[in-house]
Structure 1
Amino acid sequence: MPLAMARPWKHPKTGIYWLRKRVPDDLLRLVGKREEKRSLGTRDPNAAKRLHAAALAEVELRWSNLRSPPKALSEREAFDLAAPVADWWIAQHRENPSAQKTWKTEFGDRVFAPLAVLEAGDLGALNKHMPTAGSFDVLQMEQWCLQGASELCEARGLQLDETCHRLLARCIARVVQRASLQLKRLADGQPLETFFPFEVPHRAPSASSRRAIIFPKLVEGWIAERRPAPKTIYEWQRVIKQLASFLGHENASALTADDLLRWKSSLVEAGLRSKTVRDAKLAPVRAILQWGVQNQLLADNVAEKVTIDVRAKQGEKKRSFTDEEGRIILRAALLERDPVRRWVPWIGAYSGARVSEICQLRREDVVEIEGVWCLKVMPEAGSVKTSGSERIIPLHPALVWQSSASHELSELTSA
């Protein structure tokens, strides 16, 4: 029986689903614990799957950042990291905006404000920079922003030097100042939607002004940031080329929902199953366009609402092997001298592992753990389908016995 893959774990007493993920050995010192655990806050299994995927992606991104060397932030990247703080700040105080007293908007412009360089003997300038009204408040607000930057870095697994850490804190101060001014206007009775829009100096360009962004640029950026498996890179690049060929151009900025609907219809007419269209065609396009939106290259993701019904008729559904078919395959495998044809069916039958995972196993991936022989499915041996595919599978005694018997028979034959 294989060990559990990464999936929502249901608490036996509360019924609440949790994310549980073992921390890789190389990150134990940095993470400070052996297992990453967090509540998904739901008893609904379908919602838990969605929340688990998002939480797992956050954990994997944090671990990836921890493995990376200290990062140098640009001002744009710092603002992108700080921007969610403003949404959180407004959410915290939106019901009672006048109760927000922590952030003093009247001193907000002085937070992290650079001090002028004083000339020797310039007593007048010196007096201007002596502690004044609000200096203590400004100092507290700066410390709060620095602490927020530290917490943000810890949550994301970012390693920043002192300069970049202070840059991030300064960006937090700017977005919280703007958010606090919005709350102040809300307290004065103005509806939130009439406020000046919250913005940082990197808004997505409007449809009329944005420059042409070609598909290869989006794909290259997505690959560089997400670092997917080679097989995924090959398949998704192929899908994007197919879409560009259908459109007759590579301009992602000019792509419309109608274009994707026409492409979807052409794929269905070509005989592709609905599930293939959804998972192997539309999903890659949607993910890459979303990366473009998140990185301010595209104004919106036109593939977001393009869907397809994947309900299959009873006669079209895939079926598993019957017990008799399984026995025929395994008996035939016993007669094979080719080790691949002999062992892949048997290992698959007793482990549930994928064929690609079995075929890339190495000698060192067969290990004995506390007296039990196991298979290690690791990315070091080759690409795995998902981050949760990394696991250890105990070998069934029947496989161990058959391996031993086969080895003894081989020795007798050769003798």
Structure 2
Amino acid sequence: MSRPWKHPNSGVYWLRRAVPEDLRALVGKREEKRSLQTRDPAEAKRRHAAALADLESRWANLRAGPKPITEREAHKLVAFVYDEWLEQHREHPSAKTFWQVGLVDRLFVDPEDRPPRSPSDIKSYFTIEEGSLKVREMEDWCLQEAQSILRWKGLSTELGNTRTVARALARAVERASLTLQRWANGESDSSSYHLASVAPGLSTAPPQEPLPLPDIVQRWAAERRPAEKTLYEWSRVVRQLGDFLNQTDARRITEEDLIRWKSAMVADGLRPKTIQDAKLAPIRAILQWAVQNKLLKSNPAEGVTLDAKSKQGEKKRSFTDEEAKLVLKAAAAERDPVRRWVPWIGAYSGARISEICQLRSEDIKQIDGIWCMAFAPEAGSLKTSGSERIIPVHPALIEAGFLKFAATVKSGPLFAELAPDKFGKRGGNGTKVVGRFVRQLGLKDPRLSPSHSWRHRIKTSGRKFGLAQDILNAITGHGAKSVADSYGEFPVEALYREISKIPALDVRG
């Protein structure tokens, strides 16, 4: 995992990243090194994430091969120039004399394609000597800077691309120079000025008010009415993003910001699935809601994703017969109701542990003469609408005495000893209890989930013993695979017939 590297002599942090083998010929070296120019660990971590995102973007462009740059892409590519130009001259805006304001429309009017006058002598615009530049000199400078930016981004520097980016660069510097003129005259940042002569077609409307992400979350929640836990978790993710960016204005968040955030989480060692599903997905959904409600013009998170596919040796698996027997035999000897019954219910229903732990005595009932477990929202929130369902009690559970245990609870939760969390859910503590119980039996394989592997096993058993696929999905609470599957109901008799096809495990002896 790439992390900031502290130089043993200077104490300055660096980015060091091995160049992938397929790019070494193009890059011309085996390792990329870049000073982060700080000795502060926290600041180094932030700069490392930004530098890493920039580097990975460059490598992606190199892999994609040469392609033409559109005007829209060019303006996006040089957007940073505007901010950095202002920052360079912020304190003394009147001292800026390098760029000749008003000449931008005379640049690149010559149809002849010509390279920069000195393409090998690319100087930063921060170090250009002060003085008046004629049109040709300004063009050459823009072309040189454009080539520098394209090379750093791993993009083709063919003349068409260079000129397209150079034009966009000229417009960015012109806009910044006009802003500096206003500052030199004592005008505030909010003062309006006409952009038509700078970049024809750009809006001259005043800047929009900030749109804080937390405000979007509250408006989204008022409309969508998510579960309390979902609102809590999504609000926390929004705060995490705001802390990383040091701002929460949704109108200022860019795709590059989110890529930097993603890279920082990868560097912190978060699992890809966590980053994709628990971090990026909420932000993407919230911003998309803002787009749909005309609060934002576009969703910067739309294309920011992460490959969360399980790698070899990481995919969760079912309990084998021998592992299942080991757990159920040990559970049968337990007096604690959670360790005694939660594994057994999971083994013969495939229900989620959060669903099992919030079962109530009134949820164990006879329907058409068949004992069933009802998973209802009245007992606690469910993951999806399909999670509200009926599962017949498997004969193995009845034989083990589950109905007798349920009858001892007159009303309320079957597992009342599990303390509910702030959202009233007992599943979190139930997961911890069952997890410790199963792991102490010697089942250490990380691919084995002490609770969730029962859901994998019920699916495996369903295939092995020929359960009807649509009924198996109804039992596990998985969504319908087709429109046809959503028609009609699932009679309890049919559910019981299918689940009874799964034989009981012999845990005696």
TM-score, normalisation: structure 1 = 0.49
TM-score, normalisation: structure 2 = 0.41
Specify the structure having the higher radius of gyration (Cα).
2
